[in-house]
Amino acid sequence: MDEGMRNVQAALADITEHWQPHRLTSINDYDVKVVKLLGEFVWHTHPDTDELFMVVQGQLTIQFRDRDVVLGPNDVFVVPQGVEHCPRADEEVHAILFEPKGTVNTGDAGGDMTSELREFG
């Protein structure tokens, strides 16, 4: 494999915990993260950035106070900056996130589900 090349499925296979994002790669000032999701996350916002979700496997519900958005495999959705949301996966979901470097997974909520970004290798 060429340096800089990553395989999404291989990276996801190495993840053993839910809600623990791993950096797959970076481009400019953005991290491309892979993550496995199961259960309900915390309600939170990212005051300074949009957040892009791309579902690889499973069905992800992004809950908003006024509606739910349901994503399936290959669906992409952007949560606008400052909008409160709560991801929920009733069964395990494999996803890719695109966020500026340094973005905390729990946004402004903090708490027990806050995770340091993990690195592969």
Q: What is the pTM of this model?
A: 0.89
Per-residue pLDDT of 63-114, as tens digits, reads 999 999 999 999 999 999 999 999 999 999 999 999 999 887 766 777 777 7
Domains of the chain: 8-109 (2.60.120.10)
Distance, CA of 64 to CA of 92 (rounded, Å): 20
Classified as helix, coil or strand, 116 is: coil
1 pLDDT exceeds 60?
no
- Closest by Cα among 89, 85, 60, 63 to 75: 60
Distance, CA of 96 to CA of 41 (rounded, Å): 16
Neighbours of 32 (CB within 10 A): 18
Segment 112-117 mean pLDDT: 74
Yes or no: say if 41 and 112 are a contact pair by the CB < 8 Å rule.
no
Predicted pLDDT of residue 114: 72
Distance, CA of 102 to CA of 91 (rounded, Å): 28
Predicted pLDDT of residue 106: 66
Per-residue pLDDT of 27-51, as tens digits, reads 999 999 999 999 999 999 999 999 9
Predicted pLDDT of residue 51: 93
